[in-house]
Amino acid sequence: MSDIHEDLARIVGKNWVSSQKEERYLYGRDPGLMPPHEPEYVVMPKTTEEVQEIVKLANREKVPVVPKGAGLSLTGLVIPQRGGILLDMKRMDKILEVNDKAGYVIVEGGTTHATLKSHLMKHYPHLRHSMPDSPPIATIVANAVIHGQGRLTQQHGFNSDMVSGLEVVLGTGELCRIGSCAVSQYWFSKGPPMPDLTGLFLGWFGTTGVITKLGMKLYPCKKIRDAMMFLTDRADLVPDIMRKLGRTEMMEDIVSSFAPLPLRLKGNFNILIIITGDSEEEVEFKRKMAWDTLWEYFESRDGGFLSVPPDMKPALLAMPSKDTTRFADTSKGGGFEYSGPITPIEKYPEFIAKLEELASKYKLFYASSARVIDGGHSMMFSFSYTFNRADPDSMVRVKTALDEAAEFALEQGGVIWKPNIDEQKMVMERMDPNTLKLMMKLKELLDPNGIMNPGNWEAK
């Protein structure tokens, strides 16, 4: 057993570190398509101090540190490209504070969306957070780190926009507070009126530090949530439909789904609209707004609302939605990955055409769901393909299709969301050179030994 193992055991206790084959095997891969690479050590810290000590140790020994939440981002972001220490954050799962009046929560670095959701339902039923549709074990911090989107993204932007403060262990092991919490006991702002330094950590995939605490804004949990479904068979109308709905500033969420199966979805763009209200009048008013907004498409017969029967509603309203998870196993054998560029809504028709083109070229089963972000400034468009892990050929076909989708998204003026290491290179190649230089300088400053999730956001 190496010294590092012993040192880690001394820091976290021997039950929470492993360099056994089994753990290294499991922590060397994620459910997506990037090739596996094993860590030497897997460690599960419980406190910020332990994280600090681990990072300091890693600096001393010049071994990589890769923070991991639930490992569900699918694009290999938690695969230790250069081995080293895999930092599994799951034990740091506490909810430290809910500030009801200012409307935020402070969670630890590995707290899951499920934990927060149930905590709020039980203790603060009038408050909610923006739940993504990933399996509920996904962590709040990692979701913010990759600029995830959830049920409130249509109204309030990326889930990372809702961050209201951070505590970070820098790549050097130093501890740092970011946002209002740096000068006050309150975690109400991630930066303003001071410089917003959260940008040094969000979107960096753990390459600049380990987030040990995060403040997240909470929003009113209205008493009533209801689902409406609008269909159109014209891709060219979807951007306007989504934009118009977004601009009502009345809808909780707007998601357009497109897939050849189940048959009821085939041939149409199925736009789910969630409305909320504290009273029947409020819900009715928003329902009417949705109808009025889309009346022209209804009249032209190019679009129409589908009445949603009561037995269908719970599935549409579920948070997280189970649909993507169900889709993920369509090919059986547990394989699913999506490329989800962030792009202007107007690109929807081109992206749909590409989705189908790639599916037919590589003989893949496909689906897409596009979520409106921040009232319509952009959307996340997913190119989702399934594969069977026992069929290597299907994996190659999906990977090739996703690579082409990423290339296409960039050509179209989109930006790749949670890019894998190859896609990060594509992004950096197109990036304004001075921006790239700035990024690299910042990275070097925060992680001088290059130990933090190496392989990611690396220019060379």
Partner 1 sequence: MLELKFDKSKCADCKAVSCLVKCQYMDFDKDTAKVEWQKVIDGEDCRVLHDCVTCYSCEEYCPFGNHPFYLIVERQEEKGILPAPRPVITMWINQCQPVGRFMVGKVEEKALSYCFLPIFNELVKGKLFDGIWPSMIFGQEFFCNAVYLHYARMSVIKDRLPKIVENIAKQGIKELVCLHDECYGTFTSIALAYGIEVPFKPIHYYEYLHDRLKELKAEIKPLNVKAAYQRNCSARLIPETDHFVDDIFGLIGVERVKREYDGENGLCCAELIRMSKGPKLADDVQKRNVDDMVKFGAEYCVFNCPACYDSLVERVMRAGIKPIRMIDLCKVAIGEEQSQKPALEGMPVLKAAMEGK
Ligand X SMILES: Cc1cc2nc3c(=O)[nH]c(=O)nc-3n(C[C@H](O)[C@H](O)[C@H](O)COP(=O)(O)OP(=O)(O)OC[C@H]3O[C@@H](n4cnc5c(N)ncnc54)[C@H](O)[C@@H]3O)c2cc1C
Binding site for ligand X (CB under 6 A): 66-74, 77-78, 89, 109, 132-135, 138-139, 141-143, 145-146, 148-150, 205-206, 210-211, 324-325, 328, 453
* Bridge partners of residue 303, in order along the sequence: 232
- Rounded CA-CA distance 347/343 in Å is 7
**For 442, phi and psi rounded to 5 degrees?**
-60, -45
The interface partner of residue 263, options being ligand X, partner 1, none and the CB cut-off 5 to 8 Å by kind, is partner 1
Both tokens assigned to 103: 């409307």
Question: 238 or 358, CB closer to partner 1?
Answer: 238
x/- binding map, residues 297-326, to partner 1, per CB under 8 A?
A: xx--xxxxxxx-xxxxxx--x---------
Q: Which residues contact 74 (CB under 8 A, 6 or more apart)?
A: 30, 31, 32, 336, 337, 338, 418
Q: Residues 210, 259: contact at Cβ < 8 Å?
A: no
Nearer to partner 1, 312 or 415 (CB): 312
Among 6, 233, 429, 444, binds partner 1 (CB under 8 A): 233
Q: Of 182 and 289, which CB lies nearer to ligand X in the complex structure?
A: 182
Question: To the nearest whole angstrom, how small is the minimum distance from the Cβ of residue 271 to partner 1?
Answer: 10
The residue sitting closest to ligand X, measured at its beta carbon, is 69
Minimum CB separation from partner 1 for residue 113, in Å? 21
| Contact of residue 313 among partner 1, ligand X, none (CB under 5-8 Å per partner type) | partner 1
Which residues have CB under 8 Å from 284's CB, separation 6+?
277
Query: Should residue 220 be labelled a site residue for partner 1 when binding is judged by CB under 8 A?
Result: no
Which entry of partner 1, ligand X, none binds 266, CB below 5 to 8 A by partner kind?
partner 1
| Segment contacting partner 1 by CB under 8 A, of 108-116, 207-215, 250-258, 261-269 | 261-269
Residue closer to ligand X, measured from CB, 139 or 232: 139
Which residue, 303 or 419, has its beta carbon nearer to ligand X? 419
Burial of 441 (0-12, 13-18, 19+ CB in 10 A): exposed
Cα gap 417→422, rounded to integer Å: 13
Burial of 22 (0-12, 13-18, 19+ CB in 10 A): exposed
Nearest-approach distance from CB 327 to ligand X, in angstroms: 7
Min separation Cβ 280 and ligand X, Å: 29
**Interface with partner 1, residue 280, by CB under 8 A:** yes
**Could you tell me the smallest distance in angstroms from the CB atom of residue 124 to partner 1?**
17
Which distant-in-sequence residues (6+ apart) come within 8 Å of 395 by Cβ? Answer: 33, 335, 387, 389
Nearer to ligand X, 294 or 401 (CB): 401
- 256 torsion bin: left (phi>0), alpha (psi -120 to 50), beta (else): beta
Angstrom distance (rounded) from CA 317 to CA 326: 15
Residue 433 engages partner 1 in binding (rule: CB under 8 A):
no
Task: Tell me how far, at minimum, the Cβ of 281 lies from partner 1, in Å.
Answer: 10
Judged by CB under 8 A, does residue 254 bind partner 1? no
Question: Which residue, among 68, 92, 62, has the nearest Cα to 80 in the 3D structure?
Answer: 68
Instruction: Kindly determine how many residues on this chain lie close enough to bind partner 1 according to the rule CB under 8 A.
Output: 36
State the CB neighbour count (10 A cutoff) for residue 87: 29
**Using the rule CB under 8 A, is 124 a contact of partner 1?**
no
The site partner of 428 among ligand X, partner 1, none (C-beta below 5 to 8 Å per kind) is none
Look at residue 18 and give its three-state secondary structure.
strand
Distance CA 381, CA 369 (A): 6
List Cα–Cα distances, 87 to 8, 90, 270, 406, in angstroms.
11, 9, 40, 29
Min. distance of Cβ 180 from ligand X in angstroms?
20
Q: Which of 402, 205, 229 is nearest to 315 (CA)?
A: 229
Binding piece for partner 1, criterion CB under 8 A, among 75-83, 177-185, 262-270, 323-331: 262-270
Tokens of residue 49, six digits: 């101090």
- Shortest distance, position 363 Cβ to ligand X, whole Å: 22
Listed ranges 107-115, 208-216, 225-233, 363-371: which one lies at the site for partner 1 (CB under 8 A): 225-233
Least Å distance, CB 332 to ligand X, is 15
Residue 84, phi-psi category: left (phi > 0), alpha (psi -120 to 50), beta (remainder): left
For partner 1, the closer CB: 16 or 298: 298
Q: What is the DSSP letter of 80?
A: -
Residue 433 binding target from ligand X, partner 1, none, CB below 5 to 8 Å by type:
none
**Contact positions vs partner 1 (CB under 8 A):** 223-226, 231-233, 262-264, 266-269, 280, 283, 287-288, 291, 295, 297-298, 301-307, 309-314, 317
